[in-house]
Chain A
Amino acid sequence: MLEIRAARKVFYRGQPDEKVALSGLDLTLNTGEFGVVIGSNGAGKSSMLNAVSGSLALDSGQILINGDDITGLPVHKRATRIARVFQDPMLGTAASMTVAENMLLAELRSKTRTLRHGLNARRLADYRDRLAILGLGLEERLNTRVDLLSGGQRQSLSLIMAVGGSPDLLLLDEHTAALDPRTADIVMEATVRAVEALKLTTLMVTHNMQHAVDYGHRVIMLDAGHVHLQIGDEEKADVTVADLIGHFATKTDRMLLAS
């Protein structure tokens, strides 16, 4: 379970270009729940994700995972419980290392790293099995450097790396936005399959309204640094892309009037 309590973050405080990124954001995501976060640019989606992953320190507020307060922990300590797929396929994998080495790094995310040989036969067989699920042929390219893979392959690898070891929380940061539509669908299908099979608590940020309608248990719409609207289970089954865009429209009008 993820709990964000009264999260507040202000950039450039006291300067003319002061920007409130998070203004007392509250959000609870139950164990096994798949939340889809939408919102216009500057609504606080990235700030929220970065605050949860630890790369952005909050001014005030708390972040709890399964009841444990992780607000003060650095990124690498949170990583034992949180897995993340970045928007940029380049960020999520180590380009100059092989597919198998990347898988090893991900496997060790929540473990103590020892002075034993990393890539043993048992692990390689395991990686082959896990990558075969994607159907991209990555299981035959374990010794290929990741920078020789396509963006879609790299992002698929990132996904398999992230869902391995069943993290307490999976963060997906517009992870299909940089891919072509067909590859984006493949990665998205693989995401949904993994999240459902492993019952992962998942927070996905997306700009794709169709994805927000099709996937997940709850749509969470952010605006001006707090949760503007939530559309849960029963209601979400009937929601359409037009409905969601409608919510954007009222907000944009208000923004226009305010400016």
Chain B
Amino acid sequence: MIDFLQTTLTSFVALIPVTLAQSLILGFVVAGIMIPFRMLSFPDLTSEGAFPLGGCVCGVALAAGLGPLAAIGLALLTGFIAGCCTAFIHLRFRIHTLLAGILVMTMLYSVNLRIMGRSNLSVFGTETIFDWVPFVQPGFPLAKIIAVGVITLAIFLALNFFFTTEKGTAVRAVGANPVMAEAQGINVWAATIGGIGLAGAFSAFSGALMVQSQGFADVNMGLGILINGLAALMIGEAIVGKATVWRQLLAPFAGAMVYYQLVSLCLAAGMPPPDLKLATGAFVLLMLALPTLRAARGRQAAAPRESFRE
């Protein structure tokens, strides 16, 4: 038993820096999931397609000799367009947001294959943004942690600022009450398309960083990213809350960091990787079911009075 704990702990601790780098990168896709769900009340699945889209675009751009920043810029743009498409499909044709997201995500799979021309692409050895971090050896987790950490901080502050500006407050109003927002002169279409586009751009950004970090792009890299992201978001909200704007914005980044360490701990403890999605799904289900389960227990307590009436 002691032996088991010791080996688990040793391999977990050894993996902390790598996992941290990975979780910081994936924090952006969690933000790309949080914005539609929480800020716009627009349950959206586009991220599952936008994440590999960003990766594929970035990979192809790097392979074509573009600089790492230009590659990320292209990825952001395509992710933004993907998000806009989902929002437009929902608004124009009144298709449920989840179905609109599934449509875009499914179509993006073909698009991603077309962009790369094959199912995976190695960009190992090309220059990445992680090579620019001063004083540390490129390619090591520390370089990634510093680079992505700085970007995360900057984006978190920028988002925090935006959502308390006049424009940002209007975008939040669209999520809180679209009828009221419209009556207050807010263009619901523009805010929704822009907001979901922004979320798509975040997911694509995450995919692009992931490709630069791991050195290859793969059409299947988005598989299950949504459910992982939701799990991370729920953990983040449980830890930092969601009552104020800055807490809600901090939740995806904090949640990603904690969630991927938990996953790493499970793997270090010997959980077979194929079971990971089942466990994550069960976890998300539990978090979603919790309020209903609590309510059911409340009803049981009140049950005698009810049965009395019958």
Contacts and interface: CB of A to CB of B under 8 A. Distances in A.
A108 B183 CA distance: 11
Contacts of A75: 182-183
For the complex, would chain B's binding face be called helix, strand, loop or mixed by DSSP majority?
A: helix
Interface in B170-208: 170, 172-173, 176-177, 179-188
Contacts of B183: 53, 75, 79, 83-84, 86, 92
A94 B164 contact: no
12 contacts: A76-B188, A77-B185, A80-B185, A86-B179, A91-B180, A92-B183, A105-B169, A108-B184, A113-B165, A114-B166, A115-B166, A115-B167
A105 B165 contact: no
Q: Give the top 4 A-B pairs by smallest Cβ distance, nearest first.
A: A79-B185, A94-B176, A113-B166, A109-B185
A48 interface: no
Contacts of A208: none
Interface string B114-157: 00000000000000000000000000000000000000000000
Nearest to B38: A96
Nearest to B166: A113
Interface in A95-132: 95-97, 101, 104-106, 108-110, 113-119
Given A97-B176, A105-B170, 17 more contacts: A76-B186, A79-B183, A79-B184, A83-B183, A86-B179, A86-B183, A93-B180, A95-B176, A104-B166, A105-B169, A105-B184, A108-B169, A108-B170, A114-B165, A117-B161, A117-B164, A118-B166
Contacts of B177: 90-91, 93-95
B168 interface: yes
Given A113-B166, A115-B162, A119-B164, A108 B176 contact: no
A104 B180 CA distance: 13
B225 to A, nearest CB: 27
A83 B177 CA distance: 16
A222 to B, nearest CB: 22
A215 to B, nearest CB: 23
A101 B188 CA distance: 17
Q: Which of B165, B176, B185, B186 has the most CB of A within 10 A?
A: B185
Contacts, number: 86
Nearest to A108: B166
Interface residues of A, number: 33
Interface residues of B, number: 23
Interface of A: 53, 55, 75-77, 79-80, 83-84, 86, 90-97, 101, 104-106, 108-110, 113-119, 161
A109 B165 CA distance: 15
Interface of B: 161-162, 164-170, 172-173, 176-177, 179-188
A87 to B, nearest CB: 12
Contact of B165 (A77, A80, A91, A116): A116
A109 B170 CA distance: 10
B180 A76 contact: no
Nearest to B178: A94
A108 B169 CA distance: 10
A45 to B, nearest CB: 18
A76 B167 contact: no
B159 to A, nearest CB: 13
Contacts of B176: 94-97
A103 B165 CA distance: 14
Contacts of A94: 172-173, 176-177, 180-181
